[in-house]
Structure 1
Amino acid sequence: MLKFTPILLAVLYGLAMYRFSVWRTARELDSKSTELADPHLKTLMDRMADALDLARIKVHIYEVDPVNGLAAPDGRIFITRGFFNKYRAGEVTAEEMSSVIAHELGHVALGHSRRRMIDFSSQNAMRAALMMVIGRFVPFVGPFIANGLMTLLAARLSRQDEYEADAYASALLVKAGIGTSPQKSLFTKLEKLTGARGAKQAAWLMSHPKTAERIAAIEANEAKWLKP
């Protein structure tokens, strides 16, 4: 039983850290966000709400500069002020912004935040186990190898979540009569909008899939949906 104690402690530590992170994130979002109020976006959000048979879709603006959208663990949807400013400046269309909201709704509907809690805890346990096993054969570099392997796994899981949220968003946008063109056009702008250099990073180390692969996946879904 004692030999499993480090793994158990790792799981408990991971769970405790996740709970603390959720609490800290909620406090941060509460103190730095206001409800989104834009007439054009509201029209598109109402169309998506109708498609989902919801009374309304509520979105908040998170007062930070980086360009991003996020789904909080409590199910709330946020667009950063930096992203909203790009929209106000005409660099992003209302339809493209609605595709971001649809994507984040996908993360909520598919339970990705809850799943990440389990993933985070289990990854800590696996990391501890790998450190013990690999450390017996490679004493000093074992922790680095274990961390590297878990980084690869975490990136793969994150990419899978992104593909799933993209597919959900595509289906919602089609049902709402908005279509997937804004979703695909936004992807081609993201690197410039965010200042990212993801294209130079190995695909398996990225937490988000490459742009071309995301667009190809959307088009593959459309081809399946349009089959007679």
Structure 2
Amino acid sequence: MLNKAYVACGVAVLLSACGGAQNLDPNGLTSAGSSLYKAATLSDSDIASLANESCKSSDAESTIAPANSAYSKRLTKVMKGFGDMTLNGQKINYKVYMTKDVNAWAMGNGCVRVYSGLMDMMNDDELRGVIGHEMGHVALGHSKKAMQTAYAVSAARTAAGAASPGVAALSNSQLGDITEKFINAQFSQTQESAADDYSFDLLKQKSMNQKGLVTAFQKLAQLDGGKSSMMSSHPSSSSRAQHIQDRIAKGS
């Protein structure tokens, strides 16, 4: 169980890292701590509702490939490899964002978004490896924590936040801020490695080519000297490629 005093202290550290703690008065910090406490106690249904609204917000701000486009048809073919699996019990809803950015992400409501820039540089097996990795963050609970953090930081920066957990009290600007923070969230080394292994195991379970995960990392390693924000830079993409290659060699 969370201690409110500990959470209030935690938000001070969090905001300090963002360069904003020095601008908060005691009343604002208390409010921020309360917002972080609410975020940390969001239920799974709250997270699903927040993910629904965040995904809608992101879709509204993005150019989505038409269903009859080559990108959408290709993603449909790629996703068929996963069969009828669900994500946290939610039916997977996937779309392509038309942008040169190299990215993909998934949310706890089954929302999966893949950027055309990523599709342009990856073959189908590599895309499945990356998508499996992003779905791993959801299945392993990492995305829930990222959403809680995005909610807390957005609410804290307004020195108030929603009156109660959920999305009902969030303004459009708050929701947009939460969505942006979630999409740009950086996962820990442990979380990244766990998502890598989840993708490997999922590909193996679905009888798909695990080698695609290796070559996907190798391609990502070439972006910005291996420091691309896509799938983080710690551990490095090259070392992660080697880890998957070692698992393939061991047959495990």
Q: TM-score, normalised by structure 2?
A: 0.55
Match of 1:175 in 2: 205
Question: For the residues of structure 2 that align with 1:80 and 1:43, how far apart are their CA atoms?
Answer: 16
Match of 2:79 in 1: 45
Match of 1:146 in 2: none
Match of 2:224 in 1: 196
1:108 aligns with 2:130: no
Alignment of structure 1 residues 143-154 onto 2, 5 Å:
none
Maintained 8 Å contact 1:102/1:168: yes
Post-superposition shift, 1:220? 5.0
1:11 aligns with 2:46: no
Cα RMSD (Å) = 4.2
Match of 2:106 in 1: 71
Q: 1:61 to 1:181 in 2, by over 3 A?
A: same
Match of 1:216 in 2: 242
1:83 to 112, 115, 118: 118
Q: 1:117 to 1:46 in 2, by over 3 A?
A: closer
Question: For the residues of structure 1 that align with 2:56 and 2:129, how far apart are their CA atoms?
Answer: 24
Match of 1:186 in 2: 216
Alignment-mate amino acid for residue 112 of structure 2: I
Maintained 8 Å contact 1:51/1:175: no
SS at match of 1:172: helix
Question: For the residues of structure 1 that align with 2:151 and 2:79, how far apart are their CA atoms?
Answer: 35
Q: Runs of 5+ in structure 1 lacking a partner? A: 125-153, 201-205
The answer to which of 74-83 and 6-15 deviates more is: 6-15
Post-superposition shift, 1:179? 2.6
Q: TM-score, normalised by structure 1?
A: 0.60
Alignment-mate amino acid for residue 72 of structure 1: M
Maintained 8 Å contact 1:158/1:207: no
Q: 1:11 to 1:177 in 2, by over 3 A?
A: same
Q: 1:187 to 1:208 in 2, by over 3 A?
A: same
Maintained 8 Å contact 1:51/1:176: no
Question: For the residues of structure 1 that align with 2:35 and 2:206, how far apart are their CA atoms?
Answer: 43
Q: Runs of 5+ in structure 2 lacking a partner? A: 9-25, 155-184
Post-superposition shift, 1:196? 2.1
Post-superposition shift, 1:215? 2.2
SS at match of 2:134: helix
Post-superposition shift, 1:60? 0.8
Question: For the residues of structure 2 that align with 1:221 and 1:123, how far apart are their CA atoms?
Answer: 38
1:115-149 Cα shifts (integer Å, max 9, x gaps): 2244567899xxxxxxxxxxxxxxxxxxxxxxxxx
Maintained 8 Å contact 1:102/1:173: yes
